[in-house]
Every structure is written in C-alpha cells, then in structure tokens.
Amino acid sequence: MGKGILVDIRDCRFDGEGRFRIGDYPTNAKEEKAKSDEYAARTAANRERMAQLQDKLYAEGREGLVILIQAMDAAGKDSTIRHVMSGVNPQGVDVYSFKQPSHEELAHDYLWRAVRHLPERGKIALFNRSYYEDVLVVRVHQMQKGYKMPDRCTGMDDDEFFSKRYRQIRDFEEYLWENGYRVLKVFLNVGKDEQRKRFLERIDNPTKNWKFSEGDLRERALWPQYMKAYEAAIDGTATKHAPWYVIPADQKWFARWLISEAIVAELEEMDPRYPEVSDDQRASLMQCRLQLTEQ
C-alpha cells in the first residue's frame, strides 16, 4: 500500500500476498472533517444499494455472507454496525456478539459457536467480534495454557500453537467458500490516542458511562501485545477468498463509508439475482391473476 492518504477500499485490502505489517496501515486517513457530510451521504447511497442487493440475495438463497468485525475497544464496532446495516431488511440479517465463552462453549472446539451462528444461505450474519478472539485475546493472555485438552493439542510453544490455529481458520474459511459462503473480515484499526479520547468521553458523558469498564484499561495497557497478535493473525489468515480489510477508524464517518464500500463490493461480486420464473410458473401466475380479477 502507498504512503499517501487512503481514498479507496482496495488500499485497505490484504489478501495474503506478501507479508502483513500492521504499521503500514494508518489508523487515520486524515480526510478533512469538512467532508464528513459528503461521506455520510455516500454511505447512505451505499446503504440503499446494499438493501437492493440483499433483497436479491435473500430471494435467491444461493450464497450466504458472514461479515465479521474485529477491533480494540472503542474503535466503533457497535455504532458502525448500527449505521451501516440500518438500511437492510432485518429478516435477512442476524447480528451476533461474541462475548467471553460460556462453560458449554469452552467445552467444545473454538469454532463450534461460530458454526452455530452461521447464516443460512441467502442471509447475512454480522459477527461483532468472532472466532478470531481465539487467536487474539487468547494469545495475549495465554489462555490456551489453561485449556483442558490432551497434550498433543496444547503441548507446544506459542508460535506453533497459533500457527496451527491460523491454518485451521484458513481451512475453515475455505470450507465455507466451497459450501456457498463468503467471509468478509474487517479490522477497525483505531489509534491508541484516539482510544484514549473515546474512553475519556465515555467517562465524562453520563450517557456513555455504561460503555466503560475498568477492564478496558487493563487491555489498553497490553496495546503492543494486541497489535502483535493482530499482525500475526491477519498475516496468517488472509487469503484470496477471505481477505482482511484493515480500515482506518480514527474518523468514524470515514470508516463507515469504507466498510459500506467493502460490503457493496462483496455483494456485487456475489451478483445475486431474483429467481427466474419458468414458462409454466408464468402461466400459473397468469391463471392466479385471472382468478383475482374475477373475484
């Protein structure tokens, strides 16, 4: 990617070609604030396009889409989901948030809960966090060391354990591709300074207090470890069929527009079409039409 200002979603795309370096991807596109209304209008236009395409996707029921969003706290996952998806028919979209795993979930393999929340083909699932937590927060906190599993699964060093997981995830996403799904992976890349500003706002603004917890500061203190984990995870799991989009998130209105661009582009590539009506079906529709006009 070039050094200049980001203007295009293609600049955010990493498909596994070469080595991924997180430092090459800015957190701030430095677009002029005066242009935020213009970008909001562009996002709104994309929302309409999304709604049209989603209607066809649902009618056709041929392919399913998983959109997953990963980010550090306060990067804007929730508000992005709300803004970008507000135009689509709720019947065709399921949103699922990946919280700390329950006992039942921990007693299964880590992809189990993701599989349980896959959409049926024709629908979109939006994952707020995802199975990538199992190579991010788990890696940063070395949670795998506490897993109750045979030695052949955990008895190895960190690099080997997570390299296996990256491979498992690549295989899983390829399996989905071969079974009529696409996975669109978004990393909302917020800067550490911008996170501080947003945390302060959460503390100062009583309507936002509920969004802040002391634990958020503990995770913030581990920023370099998280960036390392993100870098390794994105490098190890980006593929041609399931690339990552690393989106500068310091300016929310710009990030929203970029995500809407990525989703529209993906849906356009899926090229959903309304099912064609056969001659027989057309004839029967005409029969029904006749009956209706006579009654």
Nearest approach, Cβ of residue 129 and ligand ATP (Å): 5
Nearest approach, Cβ of residue 137 and ligand ATP (Å): 4
Contact 125, 88 (CB under 8 A): no
Nearest approach, Cβ of residue 98 and Mg ion (Å): 11
Nearest approach, Cβ of residue 78 and Mg ion (Å): 10
What would the x/- binding string for Mg ion be over residues 72 to 101, using CB under 5 A? Answer: -x----------------------------
Question: Judging by beta carbons within 10 Å of its beta carbon (0-12, 13-18, 19+), is residue 70 exposed, middle or buried?
Answer: buried
Rounded CA gap, 120 and 101, in Å? Answer: 23
Which spans of this chain sit near ligand ATP (rule: CB under 6 A)? 73, 77-78, 98-101, 128-129, 133-134, 137-138, 211
- From the list Mg ion, ligand ATP, none, which binds 165 (C-beta under 5 to 8 Å, kind-based)? none
Nearer to ligand ATP by Cβ, of 42 and 141: the residue is: 141
- Of 43, 90, 99, the closest CA to residue 247 belongs to 43
- Of 119, 75, 64, the closest CA to residue 95 belongs to 119
- From the list Mg ion, ligand ATP, none, which binds 21 (C-beta under 5 to 8 Å, kind-based)? none
- Of 129, 132, 121, 214, the closest CA to residue 169 belongs to 132
Stretch that binds Mg ion, among 44-52, 70-78, 194-202, 237-245 (CB under 5 A): 70-78
Nearer to ligand ATP by Cβ, of 133 and 174: the residue is: 133
Contact 39, 257 (CB under 8 A): yes
For residue 22, the one-letter residue type is I
